[in-house]
């Protein structure tokens, strides 16, 4: 039996009820609502021979960034292989992408999805999973250009159009096209107010432009759109906390952290990344976050040996450094070394960014501030290679600046603080950091 989904893309061997279940699960994934995995499992329980249901399930595992998801992803791929003779070309493309990711070829996965989208530009699943894969690799150009490449095949009459606009908005922001990004993000929200990714794109614009009060107001006014039952809510809470952190409102930041960023003892890596990143920023500024960091470090312990995604390893190292866990620090270093010896995209990520940053964090913790500052400043220009957004990778620049100030290196500190002020001249934190840097006595010639 052959059919098409709501966007006209071909689907093989399905029933009307299975197709409807697939569409429901895809819609949950598009908006980052819970729980697309449970919904697609319900479809597969009745229709185990539906390739696109398996492709959606595999895409969800891909988006976890966790080595532990690779086992279940392998099972999905094996189930797909058993159906390969019945698949159409679109479906085979999805499984080729999943197989590439499974073997650690993150870039190759994106290439396979690109081929699917070239033939089926309304394949919303391929676009969204590829968009997330581009995000995990810091591929800013593709974050913008992949959605842009399919936009002309879409319009407001096609279900999911707003989500395409939201992805394009985020890519525009990551490429520094802030005006167009905000316009596209707000256009996406006119199609779906509860599009958490579009909210996230506009929030990124305001963060990058230093629009602190406006950014906080935007997120707070729309809380009922993006927060309830949404798997991306923790990250949008993180963005709200950044605005309050800029003015040193630690109590407000910690209240957001406890209620939104980490309201439970989650062991989801994507959530732990934001928890570590926020606590590290607070820790650098002298806030008492020791108990919270201990809890996050406990959760990171299960990931310390993964050697799968260096971006996660660095955020685990932050928690292990802040809680003085020497054995866990050594495990992360060993994991990064092991990753470098293997194949796949993560070998490059670990070599170029992950291991240098992890070592620099250890140098910082041991008081070797000059070493840490120099290493982090050197990595900053290539930090995109290990994934994340500009806002997330800013933690490298922040730590380099703090290390330079502690080292008494006025020249480097003023240079780094000057870079921050040029981007956000009205930021209270940036102004204070530049003042601290300027107060460092010049080194006699």
Q: What is the pLDDT of residues 404-439, one digit of tens each?
A: 999 999 999 999 999 999 999 999 999 999 999 999
Burial of 292 (0-12, 13-18, 19+ CB in 10 A): buried
Percent of the chain with pLDDT over 90: 96
Q: What is the pLDDT of residues 287-326, one digit of tens each?
A: 999 999 999 999 999 999 999 999 999 999 999 999 999 9
Task: Tell me: do 274 and 363 sit in the same domain.
Answer: yes
Task: Tell me: do 315 and 427 sit in the same domain.
Answer: yes
Task: Name residues whose C-beta falls within 8 Å of residue 402's C-beta, 6 or more positions apart in sequence.
Answer: 284, 364
Asked if residue 418 is part of any domain, the answer here is: yes
- The answer to whether residues 355 and 340 touch, using CB atoms and an 8 Å cutoff, is yes
Task: Tell me: do 248 and 351 sit in the same domain.
Answer: no
- The answer to whether residues 80 and 58 touch, using CB atoms and an 8 Å cutoff, is yes
Quote the number of domains for the chain. Answer: 2
Q: What is the pLDDT of residues 186-207, one digit of tens each?
A: 999 999 999 999 999 999 999 9
How far apart, in whole angstroms, are the C-alpha atoms of residue 140 and residue 171? 6
SS3 196: helix
Residue 2: pLDDT band by 50, 70, 90 thresholds?
A: low
Asked if residue 156 is part of any domain, the answer here is: yes
How far apart, in whole angstroms, are the C-alpha atoms of residue 353 and residue 25? 36
Q: Is the pLDDT of residue 15 over 80?
A: yes
What does DSSP assign to residue 350? I
List C-alpha distances in Å: 240 to 34, 197, 236, 264. 22, 14, 6, 18
Among residues 192, 223, 258, which one ends one of the domains? 258
Q: Is the pLDDT of residue 252 over 90?
A: yes
Q: Is the pLDDT of residue 13 over 90?
A: no
Task: Name residues whose C-beta falls within 8 Å of residue 264's C-beta, 6 or more positions apart in sequence.
Answer: none
| Confidence (pLDDT) at 1 | 47
Asked if residue 245 is part of any domain, the answer here is: yes
Task: Tell me: do 397 and 429 sit in the same domain.
Answer: yes
Q: What is the CATH number of the domain that holds 245?
A: 1.25.40.10
- Among 407, 371, 391, smallest CA distance to 206 is for 391
Task: Tell me: do 37 and 182 sit in the same domain.
Answer: no
| Confidence (pLDDT) at 445 | 53
Q: Is the pLDDT of residue 367 over 60?
A: yes
SS3 of 4-71: the string is ECCCCCEEECCCHHHHHHHHHHHHHHHHCECCHHHHHHHHHHHCCCCHHHHHHHHHHHHCCCCHHHHH
Asked if residue 445 is part of any domain, the answer here is: no
Task: Tell me: do 249 and 321 sit in the same domain.
Answer: no
What does DSSP assign to residue 324? T
Asked if residue 21 is part of any domain, the answer here is: yes
Task: Tell me: do 118 and 166 sit in the same domain.
Answer: no
Residue 10's domain comprises 2-138+259-438
Q: Two tokens at 24? A: 């429901």
| Confidence (pLDDT) at 310 | 98
Among residues 258, 282, 308, which one ends one of the domains? 258
Task: Tell me: do 232 and 375 sit in the same domain.
Answer: no
Task: Tell me: do 322 and 273 sit in the same domain.
Answer: yes
Among residues 258, 275, 291, which one ends one of the domains? 258
Task: Tell me: do 166 and 97 sit in the same domain.
Answer: no
| Confidence (pLDDT) at 3 | 86
SS3 of 352-396: the string is HHHHHHHHHHHHHHCCCHHHHHHHHHHHHHHHHHHCCCHHHHHHH
End-to-end C-alpha distance for the chain, whole angstroms: 80
Q: What is the pLDDT of residues 54-111, one digit of tens each?
A: 999 999 999 999 999 999 999 999 999 999 998 999 999 999 999 999 999 999 999 9
Task: Tell me: do 303 and 431 sit in the same domain.
Answer: yes
Q: What is the pLDDT of residues 329-366, one digit of tens each?
A: 999 999 999 999 988 999 999 999 999 999 999 999 99
């Amino acid at each position: 039996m052959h059919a098409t989904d709501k966007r006209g893309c071909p689907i093989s061997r399905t029933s009307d009820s299975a197709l409807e279940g697939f569409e429901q699960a895809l819609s949950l994934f598009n908006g980052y609502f819970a729980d697309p995995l449970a919904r697609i499992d319900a479809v597969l329980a009745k229709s185990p021979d539906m390739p696109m249901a398996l492709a959606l399930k595999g895409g969800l595992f891909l988006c976890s960034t966790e080595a532990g998801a690779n086992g279940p992803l392998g099972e999905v791929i094996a189930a797909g292989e058993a159906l390969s003779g019945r698949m159409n070309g679109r479906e085979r493309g999805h499984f080729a992408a999943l197989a590439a990711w499974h073997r650690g070829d993150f870039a190759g996965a994106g290439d396979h999805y690109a081929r699917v989208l070239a033939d089926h530009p309304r394949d919303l699943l391929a676009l969204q999973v590829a968009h997330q894969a581009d995000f995990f690799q810091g591929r800013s150009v593709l974050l913008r250009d992949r959605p842009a490449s399919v936009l002309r095949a879409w319009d407001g009459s096609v279900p999911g159009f707003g989500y395409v606009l939201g992805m394009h908005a985020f890519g525009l922001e990551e490429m520094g096209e802030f005006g167009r990004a905000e316009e596209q993000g707000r256009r996406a929200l006119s199609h779906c107010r509860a599009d958490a990714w579009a909210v996230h794109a506009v929030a990124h614009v305001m963060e990058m432009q230093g629009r602190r009060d406006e950014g906080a107001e935007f997120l707070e006014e729309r809380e009922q759109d993006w927060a309830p039952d949404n798997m991306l809510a923790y990250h949008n809470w993180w963005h709200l906390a950044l605005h309050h952190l800029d003015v040193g409102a630690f109590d407000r930041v910690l209240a957001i952290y406890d209620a939104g960023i980490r309201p439970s003892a989650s062991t989801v890596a994507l959530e732990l990344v934001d928890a570590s990143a926020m606590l590290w920023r607070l820790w650098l500024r002298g806030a008492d976050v020791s108990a919270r960091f201990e809890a996050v470090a406990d959760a990171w312990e299960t990931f310390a040996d993964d050697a799968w995604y260096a971006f996660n390893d660095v955020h685990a190292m932050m928690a292990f450094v802040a809680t003085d866990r020497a054995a866990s620090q050594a495990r992360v270093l060993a994991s990064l070394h092991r990753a470098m010896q293997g194949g796949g995209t993560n070998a490059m990520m670990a070599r170029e960014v992950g291991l240098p940053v992890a070592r620099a964090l250890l140098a910082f913790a041991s008081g070797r501030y000059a070493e840490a500052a120099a290493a982090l400043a050197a990595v900053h220009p290539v930090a995109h290679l290990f994934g994340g957004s500009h806002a997330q990778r800013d933690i490298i620049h922040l730590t380099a600046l703090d290390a330079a100030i502690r080292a008494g290196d006025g020249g480097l500190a003023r240079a780094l603080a000057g870079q921050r002020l040029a981007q956000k001249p009205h930021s209270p934190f940036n102004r204070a950091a530049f003042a601290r840097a300027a107060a460092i006595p010049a080194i006699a010639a």
